[in-house]
A and B are shown apart, each in its own frame.
Chain A
Amino acid sequence: MTGDAPAMLAGMLGVIRRDLLLAWKRPGDILNPLFFFVMVAALFPLAVGPSPEQLEFSGPAVLWVAALLAMLLSLNSLFLSDFEDGSLDQMLVSPVPLPALALGKSIMHWLTSGLPLVLISPVVAITFRMPASVTGFLMITLLLGTISLSLLGSIGAALTVGLHRGTALLSLLILPLAMPVLIFGARTVSLVAAGDGVAGGLYFLGAYAVLVLSFAPFATAAALRISNE
């Protein structure tokens, strides 16, 4: 029996469990993007100056840009080790539909890079003098936005797997597609800080995450097949 729901779920969970275990054995894979996020966020006050008004004003934008870059950094290795040790070939010939496995990889990427970013963001936000109420919204927008970024990024990672100079290329492919997420994520937090309504921005981020969830696994699967011909 191939392609039935329990088998698909089992395959997906298998991928997630295996990759989480791998990440647990090599914590650097999770921690490096986090350190990168904190450092990029720290660069801005150093460049802009310590004025509290400016920091408060630029906080949402800086945190969002730093989060976007940190997500990109970890995307490059998403399929790399699978490609090198042959696991990817096994996934391609597996009876479990490839989109389910691709979705598993995207979920794994979000768990190991999106979620930690969301959790650490309040700490960085404090240094930007962000009030607690605004920080809550920052976490919600990051939560919704990083889901879309993980899914979109998986497509780019699948397209560039096995290519030389993949990192710069991956950024070039994914950054334009990630603009709507950045715009709505950062602007929504800025609007909260200015005391405006935010429902529209949050709805958009949620709707976009659902839209990307509906097509990204299929695009990622198609890209993986093409990259491994």
Chain B
Amino acid sequence: MWKFIHKLASPPHFYGLAASMIPWFVVPGLFLVAYGAYAGLFVAPMDYQQGDAFRIIYVHVPSAYLSMMTYMIMATSAGIGLIWRIKLAHAVAAAAAPIGAWFTFLALATGSIWGKPMWGTWWEWGDPRLTSELIMLFLYFGYMALRGAIDDTAKADKSSAVLALVGAVNVPIIHFSVEWWSSLHQGPTLVRKGGPAMDTAMLYPLLAMILGFTFLFGALLLRRVRAEVLYRERRTRWVREMILSKGT
């Protein structure tokens, strides 16, 4: 078991493995997003209250879910890197942060565009989930800023790992405190007792989009981790040999 993990976590092995795994994420991801986008934009019926504006959820919900998910992935890999001293885990955390920040930004932007026709305003401080997404974005910024401020990679890895873990403890508390603060956002429709409160013609494209976004996120993460590994190992023999053998 440990042997397997150590082999998996060795940079040259992972570098090759990730390259062969990426298509397995890209192909289903593209199919699911293509189906979800088509069915969501053209097939799904109009919402009787929100009209066509509701269709933005096909981007908004997957982005919002991935913004939280990425933070958890980042904090978990940072913790693994800190505890078991696995360098690859640190590379995953470092590669995940900008993706998470972008998904958070996307969730905020789509939420704001949806808010304009629905609430009549681009930004609504009274909405707890919008506000906690904003704080989430700040957490990502803090993490990336700390990384950027430390020149030594090993030190940056460990310092930012401590920050990510402290942040992970705080994320549920921030979420809860903002919830308490005030509520205007519509209640959860997807995850609730008695099944989703949504027509299947609207629901299936959304599920496809969530799954498709997740696959594409996986592909993006693998690609970024590969780049990160290559950069970190730039002075090692296997990288030099690989580059020389490829001729360019």
Contact = CB atoms under 8 A, between A and B. Distances in A.
Report whether chain A binds chain B.
Answer: yes
Nearest to B132: A179
Interface of B is mostly: helix
Interface of B: 82, 135, 138-139, 141-142, 145-146, 149-150, 154-155, 158-159, 162-163, 165-167, 169-170, 173-174, 176-178, 180-181
Contacts of B146: 159-160, 169, 173
A208 B173 CA distance: 9
B163 A173 contact: yes
Contacts of A184: 177, 180
Interface string A207-218: 010010001000
B159 A177 contact: no
Given A180-B173, A219-B162, 19 more contacts: A152-B166, A155-B166, A159-B163, A163-B150, A173-B146, A176-B142, A177-B166, A179-B177, A180-B170, A180-B176, A183-B177, A183-B178, A183-B180, A204-B180, A208-B173, A222-B82, A223-B162, A226-B162, A229-B155
Contacts of A180: 170, 173-174, 176-177
Interface of A is mostly: helix
A198 interface: no
A173 B145 contact: yes
A175 to B, nearest CB: 7
Interface string A165-176: 100010011011
A154 to B, nearest CB: 11
Nearest to B82: A222
Contacts of B145: 169, 172-173
B142 A172 contact: yes
A179 B177 CA distance: 9
A155 B162 contact: yes
A173 B174 contact: no
A227 interface: yes
Given A173-B142, A176-B135, A163 B149 contact: yes
B166 to A, nearest CB: 5
A64 to B, nearest CB: 13
A222 B162 contact: yes
Contact of A187 (B138, B158, B169, B181): B181
A180 B82 CA distance: 27
What interface size band does chain A fall in? 20 to 34
Contacts of A179: 135, 174, 177-178
A173 B154 CA distance: 19
Contacts of A226: 155, 158-159, 162
Contacts of B181: 183, 187
A172 B141 contact: yes
A176 B165 contact: no
Given A172-B141, A179-B135, A184-B177, A159 B162 contact: yes
Given A176-B142, A177-B167, A159 B178 contact: no
Given A159-B163, A165-B149, A226-B162, A176 B155 contact: no
A175 B177 CA distance: 15
B75 to A, nearest CB: 13
A229 B133 CA distance: 35
A62 B158 CA distance: 36
A227 B159 contact: yes
Contacts of A183: 177-178, 180-181
A217 B155 CA distance: 20
Interface string A147-167: 000001001000110011100
29 contacts: A155-B166, A159-B146, A159-B159, A160-B146, A160-B149, A164-B149, A165-B149, A172-B145, A173-B142, A173-B145, A173-B146, A176-B138, A176-B139, A176-B142, A177-B166, A177-B170, A179-B135, A179-B178, A180-B174, A183-B177, A183-B178, A183-B180, A184-B180, A208-B173, A211-B173, A219-B162, A222-B82, A226-B162, A227-B159
